[in-house]
Amino acid sequence: MADRILVVDDEPEIADLVELYLRNENFIVYKFYSASEALACINSEQLDLAILDVMLPGISGLQICSKIRERYNYPVIMLTAKSEEIDKITGLTLGADDYITKPFLPLELLARVKAQLRRYKRYNSVDSEAAEADEVIVVSGLVLNSRTHECTLNERPLALTPTEFSLLRILCKQRGNVVSSEELLHQLWGEEYYSKSNNTVTVHIRHLREKMGDSFENPKYIKTVWGVGYKIEG
């Protein structure tokens, strides 16, 4: 079945262009120019990914992202006319998986969409015997189930985005070893990692720590090895 994508942008020419390119790739597109219509769709339709403009009148794309994260784990890509790092950090902190700055090339957006869907499906399905054998990871009170995309910490459920889940899974599989920011970027975004900054990883790590009730100054779970990367000791 074709993947279902929500597109929300109050600039019709941008929303229409994104819709055109997505439909040409056989995606099912739910396109809206306002937040209120989009919120109704989120509550009534089963979606696989959302593309949200940050600067919407009334309810912002960041607020929609936050609403999505209250119930769903599918990927969210933010569109922003601002290039300031604070906007990107805010979006990632609220649970977005990626961002792209306007003006953008439609083919670049398509590549980001496909990359996010690949990652989301990879960690929500069992594709091989190897994946089945490795589907549950247990480290220091953390339990990650790759098949169900569920994560608990000391039996308390953690609501993680696909990117957060993937990042935590990489660290847990490498428990005891330091994983560099570059390696994390490469594993999370593949060939697109060159377009990301180390701040992207830093924000996701910070958000994971917040959800885990961990501290920055003296973290119990995800430890920073300054100048090298991050590790989880199991």
Domain residue extents for the chain: 4-122, 129-232
Under CATH, what is the fold of the domain 4-122? Rossmann fold (3.40.50)
The helix or strand, by DSSP H or E, that contains position 76, with its residue range, turns out to be: strand 76-80
- Predicted confidence at residue 10, as pLDDT, reads 94
Residues 6+ apart with CB under 8 A from 134: 146, 173
Query: How far is 18 from 5, CA to CA, in rounded Å?
Result: 11
- The single-letter code of the amino acid at 95 is G
- Predicted confidence at residue 130, as pLDDT, reads 43
Global pTM value: 0.62
Query: How far is 184 from 79, CA to CA, in rounded Å?
Result: 23
Which residues of the chain are under the pLDDT cut of 50?
126-133, 193
Tokens read off for 162: 């696909």
| Residue whose structure tokens are 């990107």 | 88
* DSSP, res 61: H
What does CATH list as the number for 129-232? 1.10.10.10
- Predicted confidence at residue 14, as pLDDT, reads 95
For residue 156, the cross-strand partners are: 153
Query: How far is 72 from 178, CA to CA, in rounded Å?
Result: 31
Query: How far is 95 from 160, CA to CA, in rounded Å?
Result: 8
- Predicted confidence at residue 133, as pLDDT, reads 47
